[in-house]
Structure 1
Amino acid sequence: MLVFVTGASGFVGTSVTKELLANGHQVLGLARSPESAKKLRDLGAQVVEGSMTDHELVKETVKKADGVIHLAFNHDFSRYKENCVEDGDLVRAMGSVMVGTDKPLVVTSGTGVVLGLPDRKADSPFKEDDPYPLSADWMHRMHSELPTYELAKQGVRAMVVRLTPTVHGAGDKGFIPRFIAKARESGVAAYVEDGANVWPAVHRDDAAVVFRLALEKGTAGSAYHAVAESGIPFKDIAGVIGKNLNVPVKSISQEEAGPHFGFLGIFAGLSNLTSSEKTKAELGWAPKQINLLEDMEQSYF
């Protein structure tokens, strides 16, 4: 299968590209810089040079492909809502040339889409088929999910893969390195209140397998969870940071989290217990990589 992959040279995208190539697929990667293009060619992928904001280029590329995995996303949190709206527009653009083809379209979202949803209990694992926000005004990442489900009703084998807040592995530039940097700067590895709030996690190579399996045999309209560990207490994450930096591990109040962490304060206190049982059963996915805390010990300091 010739697979068009947006974000193919990114942290998760590189693993997805390798996973697809290793399993007999061809990859057509979107690259916005010469460096990204070279990286993809070195991996053995074909390249389309351009930006995901160029919808006409994207649509023409989608027409050539047998399937699409959409990973690219602008992670500038200063304009998060706008980025989510733009991502939804891109999903619609890609899907518009796939209607009636039954080709697979795998769109990326996050397990945090249900955070704060009324009547959700923090100690109840978020399952793939659980109710999700029906309005993107409630959780902006639904701008990506809702059009995907609409396309699934229009003859596109469209589905969602939700990633965990931390997708870990060597080269990670996400939340964990930022919390480590904050601990270095402040001289304390902090957690919020009792630190019992939990983060799900997955290694990027395990996540890549979910994307491939969804592409190959996922069901239209489904959501899958790339979740290897359903919930790691944030206090344990802070403990590994404190141990390796030789700084105190300390509880701070919810009110102190913002001033201490900055924009990371929201994430430090989130609890996102998440199940992937349906994903494992339906796709035959079995995570094999190192867990988060062990990976932190080996690769993050």
Structure 2
Amino acid sequence: MRVFVTGASGFIGSAVTRELLDAGHEVLGLARSDRSAEAVKAAGATVHRGDLDDLDSLRRGAEAADAVAHLAFIHDFTNLTASGEADLRAIEAMGEVLAGTGKALVVTSGLLTAPGRVGTEEDPADPDTPAKHRHASESATLALAERGVSSSVLRLPPSVHGEGDYGFVPMFIDVAREKGVSAMVGDGTNHWAAVHRLDAARLFRLALEQAPAGVRLHAIGDEGVPFREIAETIGRGLDVPVAKVVAENATDHFGWLGRFAAIDMRASATLTGKLLGWQPEHPALIPDLKAGHYFKTN
């Protein structure tokens, strides 16, 4: 199977590319820069130049493939609404050429919050959650199932971890290093779901190969790690004290990361496991942090 992968050179996308190639598939990887193109080529994939704003390049990539894994996203945390709108346009463009073909389309989404309980794959996208910028993209993806596309949504938790991570956890480590203290909001009893990038990559492959049309999938290794444990592990890794920050001062301490430090986000992948036979195999978040690679400096 020839798979068009957007975000093919990214932290998660590069793992998906490797997973697909190792399974005997071909990969056509979207690259928006020379550096990205070199990474895609070095991995053994075919380079397809373009970006999320070049809708014609997305249509050509989808048309040239047997399936599409859409992982690229403009991570502009100062304007996630605009990022979500760009994502929706990209999905609609690829959906145009996939309609009626029966080809698989797996679209990346963010995990939703389910206050007071563990979220499941049956929870619909909610425009009132921190992942609201993904709401329209989820709806558009699942609607394509009615137009002859084997479309599915794959939700990722706030921490997709592993060596080379440049997401939220490294950002919190940078704050702790700068401030000289590893902080948590209140008692740190809020939770973060997490998954190792290699487990997430395997789920993308299984979704492309096996997922029925119109399903939501959860890539969850840890259903909910107390943020206190994350802060304490960061403190030990940097040899700095751990401290509590009241919710009103979270933004003062963490900057824009403050609202993410306070999120309570627990989720299950039980239905995904039953549907696709997927189970996490790689280290959970805390053991991965304890391995030491997160605290190396250049």
TM-score, normalization: structure 2? 0.96
Contact 1:136 1:142 in 2 (8 A): no
Alignment deviations for residues 50-109 of structure 1 (CA, whole Å, 9 cap, x no partner): 222111121012111000000000111112110101101110110011111110000000
Contact 2:111 2:156 in 1 (8 A): yes
| Other-structure match for 1:86 | 86
Q: Are 1:19 and 2:19 an aligned pair?
A: yes
Contact 2:192 2:265 in 1 (8 A): yes
Contact 1:136 1:143 in 2 (8 A): no
Counterpart CA distance in 2 for 1:60 and 1:108 is 20
SS at 2:4's partner residue?
Answer: strand
Structure 1: which amino acid aligns with 2:211?
A: G
Counterpart CA distance in 1 for 2:144 and 2:30 is 22
Structure 1: which amino acid aligns with 2:72?
A: A
SS at 1:216's partner residue?
Answer: helix
How far the C-alpha of 1:138 sits from its partner, in A, is 8.4
SS at 2:209's partner residue?
Answer: helix
Structure 2: which amino acid aligns with 1:111?
A: L
Q: Are 1:154 and 2:147 an aligned pair?
A: yes
Counterpart CA distance in 2 for 1:287 and 1:25 is 22
Counterpart CA distance in 2 for 1:135 and 1:267 is 15
How many percent of aligned residue pairs carry the same amino acid? 48
| Other-structure match for 2:171 | 178
Contact 1:27 1:45 in 2 (8 A): yes
Counterparts of residues 155-234 of structure 1 (less than 5 Å): 155-234=148-227
Counterparts of residues 249-264 of structure 1 (less than 5 Å): 249-264=242-257
| Other-structure match for 2:294 | 300
- Structural RMSD (CA): 1.5
Structure 2: which amino acid aligns with 1:24?
A: G
Counterpart CA distance in 1 for 2:163 and 2:196 is 9
| Other-structure match for 2:258 | 265
How far the C-alpha of 1:128 sits from its partner, in A, is 0.2
| Other-structure match for 1:59 | 59
Counterpart CA distance in 2 for 1:268 and 1:130 is 23
Counterpart CA distance in 1 for 2:125 and 2:48 is 34
How far the C-alpha of 1:292 sits from its partner, in A, is 0.7
Contact 1:3 1:69 in 2 (8 A): yes
How far the C-alpha of 1:123 sits from its partner, in A, is 3.0
Counterparts of residues 69-80 of structure 1 (less than 5 Å): 69-80=69-80
How far the C-alpha of 1:136 sits from its partner, in A, is 9.4
Structure 1: which amino acid aligns with 2:19?
A: E
| Other-structure match for 2:234 | 241
Alignment deviations for residues 150-205 of structure 1 (CA, whole Å, 9 cap, x no partner): 11111111110000101001111111111011011111111011111000000100
Q: 1:140 to 1:250 in 2, by over 3 A?
A: same
Alignment deviations for residues 224-259 of structure 1 (CA, whole Å, 9 cap, x no partner): 001111000000000001111111111111001011
Q: 1:49 to 1:156 in 2, by over 3 A?
A: same
SS at 2:281's partner residue?
Answer: coil
TM-score, normalization: structure 1? 0.95
- The runs of at least 4 consecutive aligned structure 1 residues that moved more than 3 Å come to 134-138
Alignment deviations for residues 16-63 of structure 1 (CA, whole Å, 9 cap, x no partner): 000000111100000111121111111110111122211112101211
Structure 2: which amino acid aligns with 1:49?
A: R
Contact 2:155 2:218 in 1 (8 A): yes
Q: 1:51 to 1:185 in 2, by over 3 A?
A: same
Give ranges in structure 2 of 5+ residues lacking alignment: none
SS at 1:141's partner residue?
Answer: helix
Counterpart CA distance in 2 for 1:138 and 1:33 is 28
Contact 1:135 1:142 in 2 (8 A): no
Counterpart CA distance in 2 for 1:90 and 1:213 is 23
Structure 1: which amino acid aligns with 2:46?
A: Q
Q: Are 1:282 and 2:275 an aligned pair?
A: yes
Counterpart CA distance in 2 for 1:252 and 1:225 is 31
SS at 2:8's partner residue?
Answer: coil
Counterpart CA distance in 2 for 1:51 and 1:258 is 33
